[in-house]
């Protein structure tokens, strides 16, 4: 049979091709994923961008003159932001503040995280099991809870109302109010406070990424340096440091973009002294219906995040990760701290007491104080926990366990985290599957890029985008696809799931990459179809990754405030939002109670997952 | 029990042309080995036959039934090809017991549980691992895992069995045992087997025919001994045989009666009858002599005028045989002698050979011009 003897039919070819594409569920899933990601990520971005160029009804008068109609194309908003009398207060100052916070927090948390990671992984530090648990706790306490604790310690009477713990001590010692304001106020509020609190929060990212990198370095590499006669400092500088540099740079990006997008902490610690950043401007503009200005700011923030990622990629270049070169499995000989050991141990212990244990204790203490700032036994009460409404206290706000709003928020939070944990993880694993299978191919790269976009969008801006997009019904050719979702639980869920996709799918990808393709091929040979393979082979083998991914999403959504603050309505409040509201309405004890409950849930779930599921946060993050 | 025909098969990975216009027929009941260095396309050929890869061009027939027609984008899925595959890594599902691993395919085919139990038991018994049915793969040794993988592949009684370097992860002793076992399996079942390996000893000892690959192209398809005795070119000659064949450069004067070759091995005449059809009819050309190490005789005293004088470079006795490197002029020749003899360095020795058993290749075209007979 020569080639020319074969009959050839174009119709048959087309039929076979179509059949091959349609009958392969993988293709269908990839197609659905790309369409959904485009609709949920690209489309909102474009929509937001285009709306900053459309004149709204309420700004008709501001534009001035006649001949303008609502809905026409305009540069008004961008001009207002970039070239008007308001530019300085609306853009320049907040932008500078944002960058200042971003840089300072990055430096602070990288140094702190890297040093801790090195001590924990490579040194002969004592009590390692205790320290390695303690080091992770800050990740579980939301940053806004930390700022609450910060205020509980340092609040000054003139700006913040009742005095905090330290302030009260100083007052007792007979120091005058003026002196206290002069000394404590700059610590209590403003950039210093924000940087310290955020650094104490975000160092966890550096810690997790760098310790993963350090773990994968074969200590023979360092020992080789020692044999060559290098001192410990030189080895650290010339061998260890360059090897973990890629991990540190990824941590910088993560920290920087998170710090820029953060809102809760700025609101707690910045607003009393009118320290404003892009994110707080974005929030207040959005609250006062200046939607277009808020969107323009969101785009600006996305650009900053994108630029930082770009610079990071240029810096790292091809040396994406050395981790695999050294390879695991090598021996790891801890490096002796020598005479410094006791001192370092004491400093670390002190650090954990001051930075982690004390804030939590003070928070608990304050939640049991009838009147803030009065440190005496008569003042002790459980009213804010379980009291029934007393009109004399906090305008009759009952204790949280008798407060329907709290119970609703608790229910909402649990519902949101569970639904999100489950769906987010499943989507994450499926997208991870696509990324892993499609490595080096167009569809794989496309999905990887699409999924990465939400990572660049600061939380608060992301909430803003979804608010604008889903507050009206979504129509296609006059048919309503999705009704208006404003104020629904669905909107909350969609927003959280999509925003957390980058993490979830990264965890999924690294999980799926560990499953050898041949295991699936063996099943193909046996005649197992796509779904059978997924259920019988892929899913059982990726169970561990499922649990880690679930944990990551659960913890991060349980404490999420920035992302959902713009889309909250009374019926959909979650615990973080309730705490935020109480704090803003001057009911700090109730706020403390809510925060403590939330923290306890996070900690409990983390502990359970650790004990039963062998979940590893670092594993799902490092990806 | 199945005849496979590959016609004009092309496979690309991106711009990388892995299989180049491949034509190969594997007869019913054959043990066909695809042999070649890594990256030559042998595993790709196996995967194309299995249906895990889709070739860009070409046709594949199984018992005259078209299973691949790239032109019409027709690719029968693996499950419709009645074949099974043993992976190099074994690809045992770590979360399933040995029994579940082996019965997986039968369950998908919805066989009754009695039949499944019977078939699995017989396959495990066939591979002598009956007692491990309830274990998980990680609880087995490498050799036992290998047996599970083969049991999984034969339990469905496929008409075609594909084996992808199945022995490469085993240690040397186990490998020899498994070789004879696989050969016995082929004898008992009569299944057509396609076997991929880079190990020429495996290929020579087990196959009915060997297909030798180079850079995505077939170089020679022949029964093992033919491949060994008369490799079509220098590449094949060099690849087949352990220790490697000796190459000696020389010049040949060709005329109607045959040719005379002058080299460091002296002047030798070859008859026209022993030469290939493609050999030149006259003139002189550069040639390479190919002499297998076991064709060279070695002695410490000259007992024939035709013997070549050389000096021992190193001697390597290994009990049943002795390998000796001998320097002859510019060339370093390997001699294989049965039994154990001690040679000291720089000792003078005399080499002899039978010209009939020597291959001659044209150096420029690299092709065989004189058979070993």
Q: Tell me the pLDDT tens digit for each residue of B19-63.
A: 999 999 999 999 999 999 988 999 999 999 999 999 999 999 999
Query: Per-residue pLDDT tens for B119-153?
Result: 999 999 989 999 999 999 999 998 899 999 999 99
Strands B57-62 and B4-13: antiparallel
Q: In this complex, is the C-beta atom of B65 within 8 Å of any C-beta atom belonging to chain A? A: no
Q: Are residues A404 and A378 in the same domain?
A: no
pLDDT at B332: 93
Work out the pLDDT band at A620, boundaries 50, 70, 90. Answer: very low
- Judge whether residue A103 has pLDDT over 90: yes
B86: distance to nearest CA of chain A, Å?
8
Set of chain B residues whose Cβ sits within 8 Å of the Cβ of A13: 71-74
pLDDT at B1: 58
SS3 of A374-405: the string is CCCHHHECCHHHHCCCCCCCHHHCCCHHHCHH
Q: Do the domain assignments include residue A302?
A: no
pLDDT at A399: 76
Q: Are residues A405 and A363 in the same domain?
A: no
Q: In this complex, is the C-beta atom of B89 within 8 Å of any C-beta atom belonging to chain A? A: yes
Q: List the beta strands (DSSP E) in A405-521.
A: 474-476, 479-482
What's chain A's average pLDDT?
82
CB B57 within 8 A of CB B71: yes
pLDDT at A582: 86
Residues in a beta bridge with B85: B162
Q: What string of DSSP letters covers A162-197?
A: S--HHHHHHHHTT--HHHHHHHHHHHHSSHHHHHHH
Q: Say how many C-beta atoms besides its own lie within 10 A of residue A382's C-beta.
A: 13
CB B371 within 8 A of CB B355: no
Query: Which residues have C-beta within 8 Å of that of residue A229, sequence separation ≥ 6?
Result: none
A525–B83 CB contact, under 8 Å: yes
Q: Do the domain assignments include residue A81?
A: no
pLDDT at B137: 92
pLDDT at A404: 84
Q: Say how many C-beta atoms besides its own lie within 10 A of residue A321's C-beta.
A: 16
Report the residue from B73, B87, B109 with minimal CB separation from A527: B109
* CATH code of the region B239-370: 2.40.50.140
Rounded percentage of chain A residues whose pLDDT exceeds 90: 11
Q: Are residues A410 and A374 in the same domain?
A: no
Query: Per-residue pLDDT tens for A400-453?
Result: 787 888 889 999 999 999 999 889 988 988 898 998 888 878 888 889 888 888
Q: Are residues A199 and A134 in the same domain?
A: yes
Q: In this complex, is the C-beta atom of B356 within 8 Å of any C-beta atom belonging to chain A? A: no
Query: Per-residue pLDDT tens for A14-26?
Result: 888 888 888 888 8
Q: Which whole number is the average pLDDT over B66-83?
A: 90
Q: Which whole number is the average pLDDT over A389-398?
A: 69
Query: Per-residue pLDDT tens for A213-238?
Result: 887 777 777 777 778 877 778 888 88
Q: Are residues A540 and A621 in the same domain?
A: yes
Query: Which residues have C-beta within 8 Å of that of residue A205, sequence separation ≥ 6?
Result: A109, A113, A251, A254, A255, A258, A621
Most confident of A438-442, A475-479, A611-615: A438-442
Q: Which whole number is the average pLDDT over B5-27?
A: 93
Q: Closest residue of B to A520, CA-based? A: B91
Name the residue with higher pLDDT: B320 or A172: B320
Q: Which whole number is the average pLDDT over B60-76?
A: 91
DSSP-derived 3-state class of residue B257: coil
- Judge whether residue A333 has pLDDT over 80: no
A525–B59 CB contact, under 8 Å: no
Work out the pLDDT band at A612, boundaries 50, 70, 90. Answer: low
Q: Do the domain assignments include residue A511?
A: yes
Q: Which of residues 504-543 of A touch B (CB under 8 A)?
A: 516, 518-519, 521-528, 532, 536-537, 540-541
Q: Say how many C-beta atoms besides its own lie within 10 A of residue A318's C-beta.
A: 4
User: Which of A370, A395, A393, A367 lies closest to A380, judged by CA?
Assistant: A370
pLDDT at B235: 93
Q: Enter the DSSP assignment of B275.
A: B
Q: Which whole number is the average pLDDT over A128-145?
A: 80
Q: In this complex, is the C-beta atom of A11 within 8 Å of any C-beta atom belonging to chain B? A: no
Q: List the beta strands (DSSP E) in A413-497.
A: 474-476, 479-482
Examine the fold and report which residue of A382, A407, A424 is the final residue of a domain before the chain moves on.
A382
DSSP-derived 3-state class of residue B60: strand
Q: Which residue has the tokens 């909102």?
A: A44
Query: Per-residue pLDDT tens for B238-280?
Result: 999 888 999 999 999 998 888 999 999 889 999 999 999 888 8
Q: Are residues A36 and A152 in the same domain?
A: no
Q: In this complex, is the C-beta atom of A174 within 8 Å of any C-beta atom belonging to chain B? A: no
Report the residue from A8, A13, A524 with minimal CB separation from B52: A524
Report the residue from A20, A522, A523 with minimal CB separation from B75: A20
Q: Enter the DSSP assignment of B198.
A: S
Q: Report the C-alpha gap between A38 and A80 in whole angstroms.
A: 31
pLDDT at A3: 47
Report the residue from A17, A20, A525 with minimal CB separation from B85: A525
A541–B94 CB contact, under 8 Å: yes
Rounded percentage of chain A residues whose pLDDT exceeds 70: 91
Examine the fold and report which residue of A382, A415, A434 is the final residue of a domain before the chain moves on.
A382
Cis check for the bond before A163: say yes or no (omega within 30 of 0).
no
| Rg, chain B, Cα only | 25
Work out the pLDDT band at A107, boundaries 50, 70, 90. Answer: very high
pLDDT at A2: 47
Q: Are residues A365 and A510 in the same domain?
A: no
Query: Per-residue pLDDT tens for B147-189?
Result: 999 999 999 889 999 999 998 888 888 888 889 999 999 999 8
Q: Are residues A32 and A102 in the same domain?
A: no
Number of domains in chain A: 2
Q: Do the domain assignments include residue A311?
A: no
> Which sequence spans correspond to the domains of chain B?
4-235, 239-370
Q: Report the C-alpha gap between B249 and B286 in whole angstroms.
A: 8
Q: Do the domain assignments include residue A9?
A: no
B78–A6 CB contact, under 8 Å: no
Report the residue from B72, B89, B108 with minimal CB separation from A9: B72
pLDDT at B6: 95
Q: Do the domain assignments include residue A295?
A: no
Q: Closest residue of A to B161, CA-based? A: A525
Rounded percentage of chain B residues whose pLDDT exceeds 90: 69
Q: Say how many C-beta atoms besides its own lie within 10 A of residue B65's C-beta.
A: 11
pLDDT at B132: 94
Strands A479-482 and B74-75: unpaired
Q: Which domain holds residue A457?
A: 25-48+397-623
Most confident of A64-68, A275-279, B114-118: B114-118
Q: Do the domain assignments include residue A8?
A: no
Q: Is A527 left (phi over 0), alpha (psi -120 to 50) or beta?
A: left
pLDDT at A614: 56
CB B333 within 8 A of CB B326: yes
pLDDT at B57: 93
B138: distance to nearest CA of chain A, Å?
14
Q: Are residues A472 and A599 in the same domain?
A: yes
Q: Do the domain assignments include residue A477?
A: yes
pLDDT at A613: 59
pLDDT at A1: 46
A543: distance to nearest CA of chain B, Å?
11
CATH of the domain at A339: 1.10.3720.10
Q: Are residues A343 and A458 in the same domain?
A: no
Most confident of A182-191, A260-269, B258-267: B258-267
Tokens of A350: 């002190």
This model of the complex carries an ipTM of 0.81
Q: Which whole number is the average pLDDT over A143-153?
A: 84
Q: Which residue has the tokens 């306890």?
A: A600
Most confident of A239-248, A465-474, A531-540: A531-540
**Helix/strand number for chain A, H first, E second:** 36, 2
Q: Are residues A233 and A345 in the same domain?
A: yes
pLDDT at A621: 46
Class of domain B4-235: alpha beta
Query: Per-residue pLDDT tens for A546-569?
Result: 777 787 788 888 888 888 888 888
Report the residue from B52, B73, B95 with minimal CB separation from A16: B73
Set of chain B residues whose Cβ sits within 8 Å of the Cβ of A532: 108
pLDDT at A194: 94
Q: Are residues A426 and A336 in the same domain?
A: no
Q: Say how many C-beta atoms besides its own lie within 10 A of residue A74's C-beta.
A: 17
Q: Which residue has the tokens 């020597």?
A: B358
B105–A527 CB contact, under 8 Å: yes
Set of chain B residues whose Cβ sits within 8 Å of the Cβ of A518: 87, 89, 91
pLDDT at A327: 42
DSSP-derived 3-state class of residue A268: helix
Strands B283-291 and B246-255: antiparallel
pLDDT at A517: 86
């Amino acid at each position: 049979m020569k080639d020319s003897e074969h009959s050839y039919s174009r119709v048959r070819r087309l039929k076979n091709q179509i059949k091959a594409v349609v009958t392969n569920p993988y293709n269908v899933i990839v197609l659905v994923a790309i369409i959904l990601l485009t609709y949920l990520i690209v489309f909102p971005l474009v929509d937001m961008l285009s709306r900053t160029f459309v004149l709204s009804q309420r700004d008709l008068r501001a534009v001035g003159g006649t001949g303008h109609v609502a809905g026409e194309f305009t540069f008004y908003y961008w001009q207002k932001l970039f070239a008007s009398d308001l530019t300085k207060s609306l853009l320049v100052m907040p932008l500078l503040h944002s960058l200042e916070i971003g840089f300072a927090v990055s430096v602070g948390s990288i140094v702190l995280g890297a040093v801790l990671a090195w001590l924990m992984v490579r040194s002969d530090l004592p009590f390692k099991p205790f320290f390695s648990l303690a080091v992770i706790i800050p990740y579980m306490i939301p940053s806004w809870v930390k700022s609450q604790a910060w205020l509980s310690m340092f609040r000054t009477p003139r700006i913040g109302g009742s005095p905090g713990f330290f302030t009260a001590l100083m007052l007792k010692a007979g120091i005058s109010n003026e002196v206290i304001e002069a000394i404590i106020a700059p610590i209590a509020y403003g950039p210093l406070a924000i940087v310290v609190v955020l650094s104490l929060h975000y160092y966890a990212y550096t810690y997790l990424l760098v310790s993963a990198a350090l773990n994968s370095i074969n200590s023979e590499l360092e020992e080789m340096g020692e044999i060559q006669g290098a001192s410990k400092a030189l080895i650290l500088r010339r061998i260890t440091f360059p090897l973990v540099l890629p991990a540190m740079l990824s941590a910088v990006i993560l920290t920087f973009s998170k710090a820029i997008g953060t809102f809760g902490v700025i609101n707690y610690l910045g607003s009393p002294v009118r320290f404003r950043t892009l994110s707080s401007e974005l929030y207040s503009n959005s609250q006062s219906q200046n939607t277009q200005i808020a969107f323009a700011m969101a785009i600006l923030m996305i650009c900053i995040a994108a630029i930082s990622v770009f610079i990071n990629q240029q810096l790292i270049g091809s040396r994406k990760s050395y981790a695999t070169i050294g390879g695991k499995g090598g021996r790891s000989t801890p490096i002796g701290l020598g005479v410094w050991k006791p001192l370092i141990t004491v400093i670390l212990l002190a650090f954990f007491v001051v930075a982690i244990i004390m804030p939590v204790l003070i928070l608990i203490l304050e939640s049991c104080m009838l009147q803030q700032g009065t440190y005496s036994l008569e003042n002790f009460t459980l009213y804010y926990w379980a009291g029934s409404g007393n009109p004399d206290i906090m305008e009759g706000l009952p204790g949280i366990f008798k407060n329907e709003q709290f119970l609703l928020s608790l229910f909402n939070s649990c519902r949101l985290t569970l639904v999100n944990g489950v769906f987010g993880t499943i989507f994450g694993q499926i997208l991870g599957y696509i990324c892993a299978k499609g490595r080096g191919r167009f569809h794989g790269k496309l999905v990887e890029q699409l999924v990465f976009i939400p990572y660049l969008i600061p939380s608060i801006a992301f909430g803003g985008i979804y608010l604008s997009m889903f507050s009206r019904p979504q129509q296609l050719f006059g048919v309503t696809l999705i009704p208006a979702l404003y104020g629904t639980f669905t909107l909350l869920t969609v927003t959280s799931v999509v925003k957390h996709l980058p993490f979830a799918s990264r965890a999924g990808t690294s999980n799926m990459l560990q499953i050898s393709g041949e295991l699936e091929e063996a099943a193909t040979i046996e005649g197992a179809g796509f779904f059978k393979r997924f259920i019988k082979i892929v899913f059982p083998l990726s169970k561990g990754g499922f649990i880690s991914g679930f944990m990551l999403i659960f913890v991060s959504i349980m404490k999420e405030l920035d992302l959902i603050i713009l889309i909250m309505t009374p019926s959909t409040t979650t615990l973080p939002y309730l705490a935020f509201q109480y704090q803003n309405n001057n009911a700090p004890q109730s706020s403390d109670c809510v925060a403590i409950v939330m923290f306890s849930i996070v900690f409990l779930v983390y502990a359970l997952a650790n004990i039963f599921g062998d979940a590893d946060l670092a594993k799902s993050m490092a990806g | 029990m199945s005849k496979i025909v590959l016609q004009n098969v092309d496979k690309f990975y991106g711009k990388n042309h892995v299989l180049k216009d491949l034509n190969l027929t594997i007869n019913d009941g054959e043990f066909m080995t695809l042999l070649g260095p890594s990256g030559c396309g042998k595993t790709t050929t196996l995967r194309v036959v299995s249906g895990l890869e889709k070739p860009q061009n070409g046709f594949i027939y199984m018992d005259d039934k078209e299973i691949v027609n790239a032109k019409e984008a027709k690719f029968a899925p693996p499950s419709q090809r009645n074949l099974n595959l043993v992976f190099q890594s074994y690809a045992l599902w770590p979360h399933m017991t040995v029994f579940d691993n082996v019965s997986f395919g039968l369950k998908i085919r919805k066989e009754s549980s009695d039949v499944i139990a019977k078939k699995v038991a017989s396959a495990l018994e066939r591979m002598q691992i009956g007692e491990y049915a309830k274990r998980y793969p990680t609880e087995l040794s490498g050799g036992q895992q290998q047996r599970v993988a083969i049991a999984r592949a034969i339990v469905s009684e496929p008409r075609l069995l594909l084996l992808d370097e199945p022995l490469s992860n085993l240690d040397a002793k186990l490998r020899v045992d498994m070789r004879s076992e696989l050969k016995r399996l082929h004898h008992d079942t009569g299944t057509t087997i396609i076997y991929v390996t880079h190990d020429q000893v495996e290929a020579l000892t087990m196959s009915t025919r060997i297909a030798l690959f180079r850079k995505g192209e077939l170089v020679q398809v022949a029964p093992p001994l033919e491949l060994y005795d008369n490799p079509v070119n220098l590449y094949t000659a060099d690849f087949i045989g352990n220790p490697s064949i000796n190459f000696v450069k020389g010049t040949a004067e060709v005329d109607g009666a045959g040719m005379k070759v002058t080299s460091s091995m002296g002047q030798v005449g070859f008859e026209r009858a022993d030469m290939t059809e493609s050999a030149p009819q006259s003139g002189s050309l550069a040639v390479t002599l190919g002499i297998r190490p076991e064709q060279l005789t070695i002695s410490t005293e000259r007992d024939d005028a035709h013997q070549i004088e050389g000096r021992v470079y190193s001697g390597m006795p290994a009990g049943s045989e002795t390998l000796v490197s001998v320097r002859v002029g510019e060339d370093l020749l390997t001699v294989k002698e049965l039994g154990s003899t001690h040679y000291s360095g720089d000792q003078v020795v005399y080499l002899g050979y039978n010209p009939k058993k020597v291959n001659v290749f044209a150096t420029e075209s690299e092709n065989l011009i004189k058979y070993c007979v």
